[in-house]
Every structure is written in C-alpha cells, then in structure tokens.
C-alpha cells in the first residue's frame, strides 16, 4: 500500500510462504504472511490444495484485510498451501499480477509464488508470445509458468528444471502441484528461503525465520543456492541441477529488508545491524550528546553506535505506525507535511543537544532532508547524519523496487554534496569494508565478493539481458559461457 508520503527507502517486492501436510494449511500460511508483511504491502494471495482441487484467493491490501473473513479461509481448504505478499513496481499494481499464479498444465495444476526478479523475462516473453503463448499478467513469474507448460521434458520436476535453466535473475520460489511442494533458490542464492518443521511433521518454506516463529515451527535449514527441495508424501529430497557458483546473497537483507528478529543465512539480523552501528561509530564518531534512530529501521544500528561511542541512546523521533492512505487530497503542500504523519520529534530528547541521527540508507534524500529539519526545529544545536550502509549509487534489478539511477542522490552527488542537500552538519556512511566487517568478514573481496552489493558498487553478478537490450540468443550464449 503506497501513500503520498513515501518514506524514501528501498522496498522489497515480496515474501513467500508454503506449508505441506497440515489440516489447517491455509490458515497457517495466512499467519506466516502476517510475519512477512514488511516485505510487501500492496497485495496478498494464497493457493490451497485439498487432494482433489485447487482453490485461491488474492486481493489488494494487507494480509489482515485480505484474509480476515472466515468464509474466505473456509474456502481455502486443504492440506497444502502457498502464499505471497507483494510490493509492486511502478505500473504493476493490478489484481491479475497478484500471486501465487496458477495454471492447469498437461500434468495437472501448478501454483507458483516468487520472490525476486527475472532479468531476461522480456526476452523470454517475446519468444513465448511468438510461439503462441497468451499472457494474462505483466508479472515475470508468469514467464516461468509458460516455460514449464511448453517444455518438452517429461514430469513436472524435469519441466521445472528445464524452465529454470532458461531464466536469469534472482529468485526464491515455492511451487505446489497435485503431488508435491517445492522450494528453490537461484544458483547465486541472492534472495532468501528457509525450511521449517512443525511438531506434527508438516514442512514449511518461508522467506524468513520470523515467519516460522509465528506458527511455532522449528527452523531446519536454509534452502541452499541452486537447490530444489521437494516435499511429498514420499518424504523430502534435494536436487542441485545447476552449475555450482559462489553464493552472492543480497547484503541489503541484513541492512534493511529482513525483520530484525530473523536469522538470515546463519546470522542474526539484529546483531548484524548493531555491529554495523558499532563500525559506524569507530569509522566516523564525533562528540555528541545523544544518538537518535530514524525509526524503525535505524534502531539496531543506533544501539550499536551508542554503545560503541559511549553516548546515550534515546528515541528522539516517534513513528506513527498507523499511517495508510490519507483521507486528505495529496496536494504538494500536504505532501510537504506528510513526513510528520509518519514521524514526530520528541522535543525533550533533542532540544539543546548535539544529535547523531542514524538511518539505514539514503535513496532520493528527500525524507532525510525533512527529518534533519524536523530535528533542528525541535531545538537540536547540531545534527550529524550517520548511514548504516554505503552510498546507494546503482539501481537493483534483482527483486528490489529501486528508483532509476538518475533519482538516486548518491549517483549524482559526492558525500559533501549529499550533506548539503539534506542540510546536516555532517554526513558519513559506513565504508564497504566496514560493512563486510560487520558481517563477520575481514573485508570485501573485490575479485570474488561475498555478497551481492550491486546497489553500492554497480558490480552486478547476474546478467541484465532486458536492461541491456539484449535478446534471448545473447542471453543463451552468456549462460553457456558460464
């Protein structure tokens, strides 16, 4: 759900959840999607299977609104279900794009929920349309369905592998057929996916461990990069049909996207963010009276900064958690006031003080400018901005809704130029090596980076066929070349 008061953060596009062999599968999926709501607020959907038929419900809005009706949940009967929460990119907020997508294929029904982005989807789509495929949505996920449908391979698993061998991009998928559920990640493991188990033996897939917690499931392990995990009545089996590559997990999951109570790739998100704050203090500390987070994403890093610097931590900005679509016509004057609907200064903690203001990132810089001014208006004598990530200089093409590069402040301004734009007394970002140290690494390996950090470096680990204007033949040659 968008508002005219954009909080100027990068946005994840979606979260996925699936459960197999549970009498209340769809209700558990709805709970899991609640825990993943931070990954997508535009729309939600569930597809369930009861052994004879698939049922589905999809709608625009938050999970609690989409699945609040007992009638809706009663219709989603069955022992297996997958679900999806979505944050749409520009121009794609329409019901027919809401996942999971479903199709009746030669081998039976197939439902797919997808977190990420295919970077050769348009090239594949052009080929499929020429071959006679009719698309019902503008979602790149539908490309996968058509590739499975048109595959010349035998069973559904071989067809799915054939489809995945043709795509490029970052993805975590959960898929449901009449006989199995599958969870899978791209060969670089850019997007997250974990497995869990309930006491009764039901198996769970989820984007984050916090979604396992809400239903009382035990964490089993991460689905590995390039792995397909198949859950059926015959048990669990793992396939690794792709070329083994060095993983490049999205580092921004740790900075902002994942919930702080999740454990991602074996690391506590909360602890990593505190370590980022501590590194910030070591790299760019200066005398101050108070450390203030920009809520909520700046809180763990602020705690780490304050502890390392020996400066008091206070909640100097209070967030209103109940902002949705405004009932006020969003004129430019109202837009200018909009930041106060989400954030309000806690004046007694700011007045007469030198303030360290900690946030996770600066994208366009417009909200940072307003927050710095808000803190000054509350009586701060100095406002020093500290950012828990390096400057965001490049757009993401791997499943994160990012402005065009021309709209990224760091793409056209150096740090001093950004400082002047947001009108802070000083501005500093964590260094790239400092970020990697907070992740437990010695430093970033420039020859073989440990994470996907393309939004900071422009080092894109997966081909951008559609963005570069390539065709499918070029894409195929790049894949063949490794």
Sign of CA dihedral 203, 209, 214, 217: positive
Residue 9 confidence (pLDDT): 62
CB atoms within 10 A of CB 322: 7
Residues 6 or more apart whose CB falls under 8 angstroms from that of 432 comprise: 390, 444, 453, 456, 457
CB atoms within 10 A of CB 440: 12
Q: Where are the alpha helices (DSSP H) in 343-449?
A: 366-377, 409-412, 415-422, 432-438
Residue 205 confidence (pLDDT): 98
Positions in the chain short of pLDDT 50: 1-7, 89-91, 325-329, 474-482
Q: CA-CA distance, 248 to 251, in Å (whole number)?
A: 8
Q: Of 131, 192, 138, 184, nearest to 160 (Cα)?
A: 184
Q: CB–CB of 389/451 below 8 Å?
A: no
Q: Of 27, 57, 62, nearest to 43 (Cα)?
A: 62
Per-residue model confidence as pLDDT tens digits over 334-366: 555 656 677 899 999 999 999 999 999 999 999
Q: Say which residue the tokens 């081998």 belong to.
A: 107
Q: CA-CA distance, 282 to 432, in Å (whole number)?
A: 14
CB atoms within 10 A of CB 224: 17
Q: Where are the alpha helices (DSSP H) in 67-114?
A: 70-75
Task: Determine which helix (DSSP H) or strand (DSSP E) holds 34, and give its type and residue range.
Answer: helix 25-35
Residue 320 confidence (pLDDT): 83
Peptide bond into 296 cis (omega under 30): yes
Terminal alpha carbon distance of the chain = 40
Q: CA-CA distance, 340 to 293, in Å (whole number)?
A: 16
Residue 335 confidence (pLDDT): 55
Residue 8 confidence (pLDDT): 63
DSSP string over 163-211: HHTT--EEEEEEEEESSEEEEEE-TT--S--EEEE-TTS-EEEESSHHH
Q: Of 451, 366, 325, 398, nearest to 9 (Cα)?
A: 366
Q: Of 469, 470, 456, 322, nearest to 402 (Cα)?
A: 456
Tell me the catalytic residues.
14
pTM above threshold 0.85: yes
């Amino acid at each position: 759900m968008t508002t005219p008061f954009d909080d100027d953060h990068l946005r994840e596009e979606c979260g996925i959840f699936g459960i197999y062999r549970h009498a209340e599968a769809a209700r558990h999926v709805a709970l899991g999607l609640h825990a993943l709501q931070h990954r997508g607020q535009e729309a939600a959907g569930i597809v369930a299977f009861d052994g004879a038929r698939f049922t589905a419900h999809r709608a625009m809005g938050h999970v609690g609104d989409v699945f609040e009706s007992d009638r809706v949940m009663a219709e989603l009967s069955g022992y297996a279900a997958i679900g999806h929460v979505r944050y749409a990119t520009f121009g794609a907020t329409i019901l027919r794009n809401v996942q999971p997508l479903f199709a009746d294929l030669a081998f039976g029904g197939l439902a797919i929920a997808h977190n990420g982005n295919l970077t050769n989807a348009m090239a594949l789509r052009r080929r499929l349309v020429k071959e006679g495929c009719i698309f019902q949505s503008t979602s790149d996920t539908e490309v996968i369905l058509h590739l499975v449908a048109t595959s010349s391979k035998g069973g559904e698993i071989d067809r799915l592998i054939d489809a995945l061998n043709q795509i490029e991009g970052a993805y975590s998928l959960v898929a449901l057929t009449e006989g199995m559920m599958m969870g899978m990640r791209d060969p670089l493991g850019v997007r997250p996916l974990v497995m869990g188990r309930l006491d009764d033996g039901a198996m769970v897939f989820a984007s984050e461990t916090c979604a396992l917690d809400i239903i009382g499931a035990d964490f089993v392990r991460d689905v590995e990069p390039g792995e397909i995990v198949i859950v059926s009545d015959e048990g669990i089996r793992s396939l690794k049909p792709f070329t083994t590559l060095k993983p490049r997990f999205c580092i921004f999951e740790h900075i902002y996207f994942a919930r702080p109570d999740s454990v991602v790739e074996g690391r506590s998100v909360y602890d990593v963010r505190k370590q980022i704050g501590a590194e910030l203090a070591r790299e760019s500390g200066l005398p101050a009276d108070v450390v203030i987070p920009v809520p909520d994403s700046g809180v763990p890093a602020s705690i780490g900064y304050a502890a390392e610097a020996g400066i008091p931590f206070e909640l100097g900005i209070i967030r209103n958690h109940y902002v949705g679509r405004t009932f006020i016509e969003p004129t430019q004057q109202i837009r200018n006031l909009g930041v106060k609907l989400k954030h309000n200064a806690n004046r007694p903690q700011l007045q007469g003080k030198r303030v360290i203001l900690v946030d996770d990132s600066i994208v366009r810089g417009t909200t940072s400018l307003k927050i710095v001014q808000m803190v000054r208006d509350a009586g701060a004598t100095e406002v020093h901005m500290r950012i828990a990530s390096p400057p965001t200089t490049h757009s993401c093409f791997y499943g994160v809704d990012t402005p065009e590069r021309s709209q990224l402040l760091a793409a056209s301004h150096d740090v001093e130029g950004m400082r002047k734009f947001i009108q802070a007394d000083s501005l500093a970002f964590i260094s790239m090596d400092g970020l990697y140290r907070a992740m437990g690494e010695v430093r970033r390996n420039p020859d073989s980076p440990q994470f996907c950090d393309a939004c900071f470096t422009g080092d894109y680990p997966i081909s951008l066929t559609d963005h570069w204007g390539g065709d499918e033949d070029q894409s195929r040659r790049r894949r063949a070349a490794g």
